Structure 1
Amino acid sequence: MELFPVPDVPEVREGDDLAAIISDRVTLRPDDVVCVASTVVSKAEGRFADLDDFPPGPRARELAGRLSELTDDEKDPRFAQAVLEESVALVMDEPFFLTETRFGHVGVNAGIDRSNVPDHDLLLLPKRPSESAARIRDELAADRIIVSDTCGRPFRHGQRGVAIGWAGLAPSRDWRGETDRDGRELGVTVESVVDELAAAANLVQGEGDDGTPVVVVRDFEWGDHGESDAHFRDIDGDFVRQALRDWSYEP
């Protein structure tokens, strides 16, 4: 398997044709996987915002005030309002906002970005990243598209790439029913392929000011495995989120 960045991607503006930008700079094969950072998808879709677009309500003021007290750092209630409006649930509200987005992704601050947004205060995640991936796929020679973002995960330091949308491939490779080398049947192994590819692509994309938001994965083979549509956990099977319902932060 080989990964390489699409070179010379310009600053993306609202209304730009991402598929055309990509196809003008690389020759794709049908079985390539194209990993596109959510940042440029959001920019092309005009998901810019300013803090003044989010006049804070009582809940936002309460949350911002509480975080300000806990962290000794003034929190803007307008940002808290933006997080609330971009979320369907607050999984945690202190010492930071852990949220569920409309499309099922759980992450900090509803994935709202405040970096690399030259003309606005905020950049919101795409509204429906899998639909965004499908639109890009319809205009490219490659059949498989992943929209990625970076976020942390419980129990580990640091961030890594994850998939928040995809088209042309199942999110997971299902090993259940197969056997290990000793002939024992696998009963629970479902491999999150889109997350693994997004993480691999993030190594090439880099962070900060690298400016390489599109990476091509070539010669990735699915293999003789089943497919699974499982990706974001339902609350009924997410025991960590269930435990957080009864948890309170103590500084």
Structure 2
Amino acid sequence: MKLKKEFKIYPSKVAVFFKNKRNLKILGLGIFLAISIGIIGFLNYYNAPLVVGFIADIHAGDQKYRQEDEKNVIIPIDFEINLTKALREMGKVDLIIALGDNLNRPSRKNTKKLLKITKGYPMVWVKGNHDKLLHFNELLSKERYYYIDKKKRRIIVLDNSATYPDITGIDDHGRGFIDQEQLNWLKEKLKTDKKIIIAMHIPMFVPGNPGTIRKDYAYLEEIFVQSGNVKHIFLGHWHTYDNEIEKDGIVHHLIPSVSLEGGQELYYKIEL
């Protein structure tokens, strides 16, 4: 005589859960709350001020002493100490923008040291006239000009570190050239509803006369003003200047070198 086997199919716990209307209401409420919390969190983050730290003219190098005048004395060999201290004291920020002349002389060794010190930090690298394109593109940034959208702001990084093809009548030994391709790109990236921050190395002012726009930069000033969105420009290069100068509704921030001798502020931090 054969035994008859009986199989009973029991509903799974998941199926039982979903058959219960009360459970479905609780689940729906949970999903709604999770989505709401996520949206609120995003809006709070998006609408919060953008906190940016700035470091200028690191001049990473092995040179002990670099003097351009009595006040303008750079100590390249101390860059590791100064940069490490600046990053530590800066605290929490959304971005850290290094405003060019990251190296004192071309050096893959010192570029790698910069990367080691800044590892884990939200770095944005600007090209300066001391930064050779090979090392800059290879290790610091693949692009010499680019933009970053962060919260309600657009940060546009420009490369004005080149020398003009014809330096006749140009301030600062002919430095500060921006090629036409970059200018065309800039005009397109200025077309945004976001408030814009410009970061570049060389100031737009006549050397030694902050507040007076260089003649060769009159066109750039016009581009910025006509956009209506550019509110801040951050600059390095001059080493000793620590100024905020408003010109045509735009605030130009001149940031001193992190490697400057004499106990200057090592960094600049601002909420935007």
Point out the structure with the larger helix share. 2
Higher relative contact order (CA 8 A, sep 6+): 1
